[in-house]
Amino acid sequence: MKSGFSFKITKELGQGTLARTGVMQTPHGVVQTPAFVVVGTAATVKAMLPEQVQGAGAQAVLANAYHLYLRPGHEVVEQAGGLSKFMNWPGPTFTDSGGFQVLSLGSGYKKVLAMQSGQAIDEEVIAPVSERRAIVDEDGVTFKSHLDGSPHRFTPELSMQVQHAIGADIMFAFDELTSLLDPYDYQVESLARTHAWARRCIAEVRKLRKAHPKRLYQALFGIVQGAQHEDLRRQAGQFIGALPFDGFGIGGAIEKDRLGEIVRWVNEELPTDKLKHMLGISEPDDIFEAIASGIDTFDCVSPTRVARNGSFYTYDGRPDVNGAKYRSDFKSLLDGCDCYTCQHYSRAYLRHLIKAGERTGATLMSIHNTHFIIKLVDDIRASITVGTFLDLKKTWLQRYYSN
């Protein structure tokens, strides 16, 4: 505990699952796991005030090193006294390394990134090199800024320096995220690179900690890649698991239908006593699968992004408030929901706000969606504690996906 960071498992469900509850301690507070970490890429959860994020039940927020490096500049966040102070979020914080942008601005630029197995694969799914805004080499990644096109270069060392300056409680190693459609040979090559980078991240963080002994402890999580291949995932789990990381992130393109299976391969290889974060998921079925396979925390842009476009979570699926049928529907988004939005506003009003492009619409929708997902995870945590997780999983998903 001298580092200010720790993770303790409080209950293991068993019953053929790897599900568990735990407590993560960080310099900025505690996170009860499993937990959904709300994404606030640019040091703000889009359209939400910190009070609203807190009101929705969030325990932690995840920002992005690449975005803050570009704007306003990580040194500004450092001068402000760190991410938490800068954005007025007093609780625990994470930063992503910029690794995701290797994909989203690289081979996945302007492409659909998530996939279902069996989904039609056309030649449009991987961006041609000439169109990419991120090009990978052994040493790092050259980005063209999505803001102004200016060239920037990220290396594992720079990502660590940027994340160290930003000062989140948890930093992620800089990795290469591949597309499911990259061939096996490329996955092998990329994985070797991600592993070399993992070592360089550890070395750099060591240096930074030595150079700034008075800083609050920032945990470093290693990232397991390997796409959809069992041999690569297990190999990655062993390799990354053997390095002195404080916790682990499971990343990469994952076939949705095999998510639980893939996570399980990894978690069978990683040390059980450390925290496992899954990057970028939040659909209810994915949440249940991931937690069943041993995931402790996860983050996702989906609840807020989808909210800004009008979709809202209910126990019976995720409809779109823009639908003409909600024009004069004065019920709340979700009957019985105790979020601020549902306590005070109707579907008809929210539809009007979203249609009119009024920002308050994005705020209110985001409040509902983050609250809904967080509540779901709260319920899951409770069910693990009392041992009813598998029942909850079955009945909950059955209802959600029945229409």
Nearest to 265 by CA among 296, 289, 244, 234: 234
Contact segment (CB under 7 A) with RNA among 11-19, 79-87, 104-112, 268-276 equals: 104-112
Check if 96 is active-site: yes
β-bridge mates for residue 38, sequence order: 61, 300
Measure the CA–CA gap between 15 and 383, rounded to whole angstroms.
Answer: 13
CB of 91 to RNA, least distance (A): 17
Mask: binding to RNA, 355-394, rule CB under 7 A, as x and -?
Answer: x-x-x--x--------------------------------
Whether 132 and 122 have beta carbons less than 8 Å apart is answered as no
120 binds RNA (CB under 7 A): no
Residue with tokens 């594992």: 156
Contact segment (CB under 7 A) with RNA among 24-32, 234-242, 246-254, 262-270 equals: 246-254
User: Under DSSP, is residue 114 helix (H, G, I), strand (E, B) or coil?
Assistant: coil
Contact segment (CB under 7 A) with RNA among 53-61, 98-106, 234-242, 386-394 equals: 98-106
H/E stretch holding 29 reads strand 29-33
Pick from 165, 201, 279, 365 the residue near RNA by CB under 7 A.
Answer: 279
Q: Which of 231, 273, 299, 338 is catalytic?
A: 299
User: Under DSSP, is residue 358 helix (H, G, I), strand (E, B) or coil?
Assistant: coil
CB of 385 to RNA, least distance (A): 25
Contact segment (CB under 7 A) with RNA among 24-32, 96-104, 228-236, 391-399 equals: 96-104
β-bridge mates for residue 31, sequence order: 24
Compute φ and ψ for 348, nearest 5 degrees: -60, -40
Q: What are the Cα distances from residue 290, in Å, to 20, 36, 256, 263, 390?
A: 11, 12, 11, 7, 13
Residues 35-94 that bind RNA (CB under 7 A): 39, 41, 45-46, 62, 64, 66-67
What is the per-residue burial (b if ≥16 Cβ within 10 Å, else e) of 274-291?
Answer: bbbbbbbbbbbbbbbbbb
Residues 222-241 that bind RNA (CB under 7 A): 223, 225
Listed in sequence order, the residues at least 6 apart from 310 whose beta carbon sits closer than 8 Å to its beta carbon are 320, 321, 322, 351, 354, 361, 365
Compute φ and ψ for 171, nearest 5 degrees: -110, 150
Q: Kindly determine how many residues on this chain lie close enough to bind RNA according to the rule CB under 7 A.
A: 60
Cα-trace Rg, the chain: 20
Pick from 35, 141, 263, 281 the residue near RNA by CB under 7 A.
Answer: 281
Pick from 23, 114, 125, 390 the residue near RNA by CB under 7 A.
Answer: 114
Pick from 9, 113, 192, 392 the residue near RNA by CB under 7 A.
Answer: 113
Give the count of beta carbons closer than 10 Å to the beta carbon of residue 219.
25
Residues 305-344 that bind RNA (CB under 7 A): 305-306, 308-311, 320, 322-325, 327
* Residue ranges binding RNA (CB under 7 A): 39, 41, 45-46, 62, 64, 66-67, 96-97, 99-101, 103-105, 108-114, 146, 172, 175, 177, 223, 225, 249, 251-252, 256, 279-283, 286, 299-302, 304-306, 308-311, 320, 322-325, 327, 355, 357, 359, 362
Catalytic positions, written as ranges: 96, 299
